Amino acid sequence: MRARRWCARCGFALVAIAFVVLLAFAGRRGLWLVLLTAGAAVVVVAALYWFLLRRGPLRWLALALAVGAPVAVIAVFVADRLLWVAVVAAALLATGVAAARLALRPDRSRWTMEVTDAPAPRHPFFVMNPRSGGGKVGRFRLRELAEELGAEVALLDQPGTDVQELARRALARGADLIGVAGGDGTQALVAQVAAEHDVPFLVISAGTRNHFALDLGLDRSDPSRCLDALRDGVEARIDLGDINGRTFVNNASFGAYAEIVENPAYRDDKRGTTLDALPDLLARRRGAHLVAEVGESRIDAPQALLVSNNPYAASDLAGTGRRFRLDRGVLGVIAVRVDSTRQAVGLLNGAHREGLQLAEAPEVVVTADVAEVPIGIDGETVRLTTPVRCTIRPGALRVRLPRNRPGVPPPRARLDWAALWGLAVGRPVALDGSSGVDRGPVGPDAAAPSRSREN
């Protein structure tokens, strides 16, 4: 607590010094330059929105404005010989904010997944996709290493292979652990079988993006380290998402993203296909009219809707950075609805109520004005009949993890200046969420007796 208080004091002091430097060296011009910078930021966001909304010359004019606004601000600073003042003030301000976040950082132990010691499996079985991740299975010798550890390995070297059937046959032969070296879509299919039979599931980070592995705290740079779980492993119970009977480990996306990815041209020209589709999607000339029932709330006509297995962080604009827990027992919901330039600019200052809505619920029901809608499920696009029902299955999957792994850092602290002032002046501040400093996880296990916590 003493360290937190000093970080809070340093945060306030550095922010104050930043303004003193600006006023001392820039005088009255300092205030106008601050306003000019803020105005340029608004112009950039508005121009980027118009770039996505329009086609033809207007699109490229908006892009030129988005690039030119910050250049013009820098030119003004240079002309007034105040660029160094702006750089110093910005550095002091950034350092002060960093100190404030450090003071308000959540307690790491409250955001570390609960694990128990696990015995080594006797008959592990793996499904490996040799093409996934640009050939990581071969590059890291994953098949050879797994077989040296006594595992049976099935390669997905034939198109149309039923990975769930492979897993079920392995379980019938006595497999006591199943795992996947491949993309998140394949991970989800095999995880569903593991959950049905309540056997441990092991993730090998051999996919292209490995979002699931990232949120489990696994090493994505060296997937062979995931195999350490066969010798020295721990086990955790995590949640699984369900969408109309299909399991997902990451998320299900509705609206703009699913509409774009469904286009056959997307595979060969991602950027061009996206830019061509966005004007119609943003203006609602294309795509279904979606309505999401999230608990007792109703989200009408979002352009994009993301339902995730546990919530994503909300510290960035999109809120899709990463998930810090996979065992909170709730779905995360991110809905984007931008109908005007004002709402697009509102996203810049955190005006989430209009443009960006974040929610949590155990169930989400999505309806539409059409019989079927495209949905991106763990990176794979499918079409499902409406209504689409998403639910969470708390603790459904036993996941086996190596004891030594990078782990998942706690979420960034929310800048609560009232709580920060309380810390700075020495006022007693609780870390259990009552002060706004550490809100902690929610869900069925939030108040459960603690098992061992590891990174």
364 has pLDDT over 90: yes
How many whole angstroms from its chain centre is CA 44?
A: 24
Contact 227, 148 (CB under 8 A): no
Query: 376: closest CA among 209, 203, 225?
Result: 209
Q: What is the mean pLDDT of residues 119-140?
A: 95
* Percent share of the chain, pLDDT over 70: 87
| Confidence band of 268 (pLDDT split at 50, 70, 90) | low
| Token pair recorded at residue 65 | 């404005």
Q: What is the mean pLDDT of residues 179-208?
A: 95
Q: What is the mean pLDDT of residues 3-25?
A: 87
Dihedral, 144, 148, 150, 154 alpha carbons, nearest 10: 10
Least confident among 326-340, 404-418, 430-444: 430-444
Residue 422's pLDDT is 84
Residue 350's pLDDT is 52
C-alpha to C-alpha distance for 142 and 138, rounded to whole angstroms: 7
Secondary structure element (H or E) that encloses residue 248, with its range: strand 246-248
441 has pLDDT over 60: no
Least confident among 9-13, 105-109, 130-134, 160-164: 105-109
Contact 243, 390 (CB under 8 A): yes
C-alpha to C-alpha distance for 432 and 408, rounded to whole angstroms: 20
Contact 62, 341 (CB under 8 A): no
101 has pLDDT over 90: no
Query: 120: closest CA among 63, 183, 200, 179?
Result: 200
Strands (E), 256-379: 290-294, 297-300, 304-309, 331-336, 356-361, 363-368, 372-377
Residue 295's pLDDT is 84
Dihedral, 81, 84, 90, 93 alpha carbons, nearest 10: -110
Q: For the chain, which domains are there?
A: 2-103 (no CATH), 121-230 (3.40.50.10330), 251-394 (2.60.200.40)
Residue 314's pLDDT is 62
Q: What is the mean pLDDT of residues 63-68?
A: 93
Residue 349's pLDDT is 55
Contact 99, 14 (CB under 8 A): yes
Report the chain's mean pLDDT, rounded to a whole number. 84
C-alpha to C-alpha distance for 194 and 168, rounded to whole angstroms: 9
346 has pLDDT over 70: no
| Other CB atoms within 10 A of residue 106 CB | 21
Query: 325: closest CA among 13, 148, 106, 127?
Result: 106
Which residue would you say has higher pLDDT here, 358 or 169?
A: 169
C-alpha to C-alpha distance for 338 and 282, rounded to whole angstroms: 8
Global pTM reads 0.80
C-alpha to C-alpha distance for 309 and 426, rounded to whole angstroms: 39
Q: Which residue has the tokens 């949120």?
A: 215
Contact 377, 188 (CB under 8 A): yes
